[in-house]
Chain A
């Protein structure tokens, strides 16, 4: 029997095989959204926990990777929503490669702070689109929304960011 069908029927060995095959990909996707390796590991486990519970709902004719990515995106979104009041950067995010002048550093800190204060749905769309430069099709599939909705979220995120920065005294 095919691996995906065995997984759908709830075979633990099939789940382990899929976990081992896809854990790196799922982690890589999540870490780009939350930008914190330790948190991404936790959310990877959370994602596979959700996958494990939802095995009966999986359609073996579809791509497991795409399904896992959507669940991973939702797990990351749920985390960002619950942590929406935290606006500070995770400690292990690398500083920009170029040394900043004082004004630039201030601007970067303001952008980061304003970005983290965006609603989670806008934050994820903007991170994937503007920072990670993922295609709108890829983002729409991961978020389970149309490409038009992705464009709209990115547009709203940009507009909100500009307004926040202007209120903070910066002219982006």
Chain B
């Protein structure tokens, strides 16, 4: 009885939630994917960050090098 009720309920659910008419992809999504990939935020390579940190430490430890650095910029 319970199984019959479950089956009836399932059929009712299927009728209410009509099956998708077409699950086929209508167009190539690669161009959209490419746009998504291009949206990636530009990231600073870790090496650049490390060099910047090194430079900052150098300037704090030896302030005398600052004029020399500015001259070479």
Contacts and interface: CB of A to CB of B under 8 A. Distances in A.
Contact of B13 (A24, A52, A93, A115): A115
User: Range of interface residues on chain B?
Assistant: 20 to 34
Interface in A148-164: 158, 161-162
B36 A45 contact: yes
Contacts of B24: 24, 28
A126 B9 CA distance: 12
A77 to B, nearest CB: 17
Interface residues of A, number: 38
B44 interface: no
Nearest to A36: B20
A41 B32 contact: yes
Interface stretch (A1-9, A59-67, A105-113, A139-147): A105-113
Nearest to A157: B13
Nearest to B26: A37
A19 interface: yes
Nearest to A23: B29
Given A24-B24, A45-B36, A172-B9, A131 B29 contact: no
Contacts of A95: 18
Given A45-B29, A49-B36, A112 B17 contact: yes
A92 B18 CA distance: 11
Given A172-B9, A172-B12, A115 B29 contact: no
B33 A131 contact: no
Interface in B24-42: 24-26, 28-30, 32-33, 36-37
A53 to B, nearest CB: 9
A30 B36 CA distance: 19
B17 A45 contact: no
A41 B29 contact: yes
A97 B15 CA distance: 9
A52 B19 contact: no
Q: What 3 pairs between A and B have smallest CB-CB spacing?
A: A111-B16, A108-B16, A27-B25
22 contacts: A19-B30, A23-B28, A27-B29, A35-B20, A37-B26, A41-B25, A45-B32, A45-B36, A48-B29, A49-B33, A93-B18, A94-B20, A107-B16, A111-B16, A112-B17, A115-B16, A127-B17, A130-B13, A131-B13, A131-B17, A161-B9, A172-B9
